[in-house]
Structures are given as structure tokens and as C-alpha cells.
Amino acid sequence: MTPISVIERRIYLVIMSVLFITIIPVIILYSIGYRLDKGLSIVKTGGVLVTLDKSNISVYINDEKLNESGIFSRSFLFQNLHPEKYKIVASKDGYYPWQKQLMVYEEKVTESHPFLLPLEPTLNEIPKTIASTKKTLLSKATTTSTTVVSNPEYKTVLALFSAKALKMSAISTTTIIVRKNDSLVSTSTDTLPKDSVLRQNIVLWKENGVLSASWWGNLSDIPYFFCDREPCKTDIVIYNNNSVKYFDFFPGRNDLIIFETNDGVFVTEIDGRSKRNIEPLYPKSNAEFRIKDNETIYIKDDKVLYQLVLN
């Protein structure tokens, strides 16, 4: 075997040195989140955080399935994404899919909180009357009689729909925090719009047929769904076609709105970073809804009352 000459050794040494000098910085840049964009420029990457409420939800980014939620895994952080717009889709069998076009920025995590409603939610009818059984002891025998009486639960739920001033009566004695030039001051609810509802410093309100959402807290604490781009917006128009008759926060969420129109009951999101998802909850003409204790959804369809259960 012929030994390698001195010249060849020097050539190999130069080649290895060049490769080392070239590759090592690339590896370091890659490890700390830098990537080459389509124009071969070095850019810093970002990420997307997807938070889910249910298990067995599939998450897609640009039509590629990346993960599925489980009983304990409900949040996913997808990192090292180029700064550009991505299509995020969350889907589950038997549910309406959720989709959003979200921008990823350098060195930032873009948050999202999909909501999925069942195609056929469970409806438990609340009867207007119920059977009442009465036992009577007669000498050596006991007789049982059954009569039909008014259902107290039906009366209680029906009263919710007759309370037109439900929202204002619920918050009329609340002290809220109001923002003025990013400083906080306490104020009474007389500064709230007339037709409004408050939750966690977020106010939903309707004026002149326009349904809006406003952030009334410190700007440093403003939720991500008010921030399409900086600076964040403290007031967002949700609906401006005068079709919303009643509205409230969706149970357990401060970023979702449940509302009724002549076409039924629907749910939408405050997040306006791309086209809002609107999902039907009870799409039947002239249906009404009320929420009790920020937990239970009731539906009134003509004279029939239901408790709606989200599976």
C-alpha cells in the first residue's frame, strides 16, 4: 500500500478544516433555533402552542398531522417553525372542525385554543309536569296514588328566559378594573355599556346593533386573542349586522361567545387573527339560550326547555 504523500495530507487537512469551520457554526445556529428561509437567508424560528379541551383531537399544521391529544396531554408546543403563516386545524370524529391561519414570528410562541362542538349535542328535556306519588295507610293496607304536578325545575329554568335584564343584574354590584393610559383604577359598573357582560376584565357589549369585546385590564396582561399584531387592540368588533339578540360567555371560557340570532344558537371566538370559527350549537329558528352559574346551558325552543350537554 502506497503511503499518502505530504501534499495529499495537507490537502485533506485543508478540506477537513474548511468543513469544520463551515459545518460547526451551522450546527450551533440550528441548535439554537436558526433556519434558512426560502431565500437562503438565516432567520430565527418561532413556535405554535395549541391548547385543547378534549382528548383524541388531531392537530394538523399545513395539512400534516403532528399530534393527537390524550387524557393527560392537552397542550402541544410545535417549535422551530419558519416565520410565516401556518394553517392550524384541530379535528375529532363527531365534532365540527376548527381551523385558523396563524402567523409565526421570530423568537415568539403563537398561542391558540381551538374549540370543537359536537355535531349532535345531548338534549335533556325538562318536563313541564312530573308525576307525584303519594302513599296512604288505611287500616290494614297501604294505597298508592299518583298525581301530575308542576315541575319546579321547569319553573326555575323558565324564569331565566323571562329575565331580560339578566346580564346587568348579575354584575350591577361588581367593582371592575378599568384601564386608563395603561394604569389601573377602580370604578363602578356604571361605566359599562348598557347591554354588556363582564368576565375576567373582558367585557362583551352590544351597541347600535354591533357586538364587541373589550379588554378592561392592564395592557401588560392583555390576552393573546386581542393581539393580531402589536400593538394589541383593546376593542374588537365581533358582529356588526344587528342580528345578535342575546349573548354571553361560553361556560368555562373567556375567549368564546355564545349568542342567539333568528337562526338559532351559535358559538364563536373573540380571536380575530384570521376568519372566526362559528359553530352551530342549536341551529333552529327562534331558539333561545340561557346559562346558569357559568356552567349549565339551557335551550328554549318554543315552550320546550332543554338542558344541553356537551359530550
Same domain, 48 and 189: no
Q: Vertex 198, ends 193 and 200: CA angle to 5°?
A: 140
Question: How does pLDDT run across 200-233, given as a tens digit for each residue?
Answer: 899 999 988 899 999 999 999 999 999 987 789 9
Range of the domain at 24: 6-32
What are the cell numbers at 307?
Answer: 338542558
Cβ proximity of 191 and 179 under 8 Å: no
Give kind and range of the element (H or E) at residue 203: strand 202-207
Q: What is the pLDDT of residue 155?
A: 93
Distance CA 234, CA 200 (A): 14
Same domain, 16 and 66: no
Question: How does pLDDT run across 139-175, given as a tens digit for each residue?
Answer: 666 666 678 889 999 999 999 998 654 443 344 334 4
Q: What number is the average pLDDT over the span 14-21?
A: 63
Q: What is the pLDDT of residue 91?
A: 95
Same domain, 105 and 162: no
Instruction: Classify residue 148: in a domain, yes or no.
Output: yes
Number of domains in the chain: 3
**Residue 276: strand, helix, or coil:** coil
- Answer yes or no: pTM beyond 0.85: no
What average pLDDT does the chain have? 81
Same domain, 183 and 287: yes
Q: What is the pLDDT of residue 311?
A: 74
